[in-house]
Amino acid sequence: MKRIFTLAVSALLLALGTIPGAMAAKDDGTAKPGVLMVGFIPAEDARAMIRQSKPIADKLAKAIGMKVELFVGSDYNATIEALRAGHIDVALLGPFSYVLATTQADVEAFAITVTAKTMQPGYHSIIITLKDSPINSLMDIKGRTYAFVDPGSTSGYMVPSAFFERAGIVPERDFKQVMYSGGHDASIVAVAEGKVEAASVADRILERAFAKGLADRKKIKVIWQSDLIPNNPMLYRKALSESLKKKIRDAFFGFKNLAFGEMGTVARFDPATDKTYDVIRKIASALNLDLTKKGEKKKKKKK
């Protein structure tokens, strides 16, 4: 009778998730018990991003003692929404998509990526066109077709938009056509194939596009480059347990020279905080972007 009672209690506890093993998994605050979901924005081909992130995913799983699964959103906002809904736990976002995420989800940055190519925690937004194009400056883009990446993209939308505004250029008014490609690779290919006349992308992704044969270096020129932008942040949801957060931080700070997401080879991960990205908030404010609505321009009130 005692054994039957014990088994009955155990079954009840398991159903309620209160057996120690099940409880520990739930106490970590992860989207799936015993699994850490890591998300990315679709800056490049999703399959390639997941494939090149596997070495870090495997090392991370070993370091934290949990299974690690990878997720790439259908667009930038889909990844932010997955964070808001608690479907992913850790993410590599662009600087502006991170700032957008902080207005919609309870998340915080804990690391900044340092790429092996530059050994700097930063990169540039650039505007590209074909080498034989008559476009040589921002003003030359007037009357031409243009591709942004995504309204949530830092280098593919926000930063170049700030410079267009400073130059008195309104893309929707002054360009022949404005499109959103959905990814940096897609914008680069669109320029290379003559589908658009100019596009804004990240310099590091252009270099990898050349290496992958998506565009011919000899046929592409850069007509504009931004100041240095802080590199992509690693972040986690605040709801994760403190012990798991520490394991995650310790793991990432120990990774050296590994491919990850759309960053190419990451030399290391340096500590970062939310304040690291205040410079992005200042640019968004100058552009009058509504950070609660996917970076859309705020409507001017009629007087």
The predicted-structure confidence for 203-225, as pLDDT tens digits, reads as follows: 999 999 999 999 999 999 999 99
pLDDT band at 262 (very low <50, low <70, confident <90, very high): confident
Give me the helices (H) in the chain, please: 2-16, 20-27, 46-64, 76-84, 95-104, 159-166, 171-174, 184-192, 203-211, 242-254, 278-286
* Residue 89 CA: distances (Å) to CA of 41, 245, 292: 14, 10, 21
pLDDT in tens, 230-246: 999 999 999 999 999 99
pLDDT in tens, 164-207: 999 999 999 999 999 999 999 999 999 999 999 999 999 999 99
CB atoms within 10 A of CB 79: 26
Per the CB < 8 A criterion, the answer to whether 150 and 182 are in contact is yes
pLDDT band at 289 (very low <50, low <70, confident <90, very high): confident
CA torsion angle for 262, 268, 271, 276 (degrees, to 10)? -40
All domains in the chain, ordered by first residue: 29-120+230-290 (3.40.190.10), 135-227 (3.40.190.10)
pLDDT in tens, 38-59: 999 998 889 999 999 999 999 9
What's the chain's average pLDDT?
89
264 pLDDT higher than 90: no
DSSP, res 154: I
pLDDT band at 72 (very low <50, low <70, confident <90, very high): very high
CB atoms within 10 A of CB 8: 10
Nearest to 71 by CA among 42, 40, 116, 26: 40
Percent of the chain at pLDDT > 90 equals 81
How do strand 220-225 and strand 125-130 relate by DSSP bridges?
Answer: antiparallel
* Maximum CA extent, the chain: 89
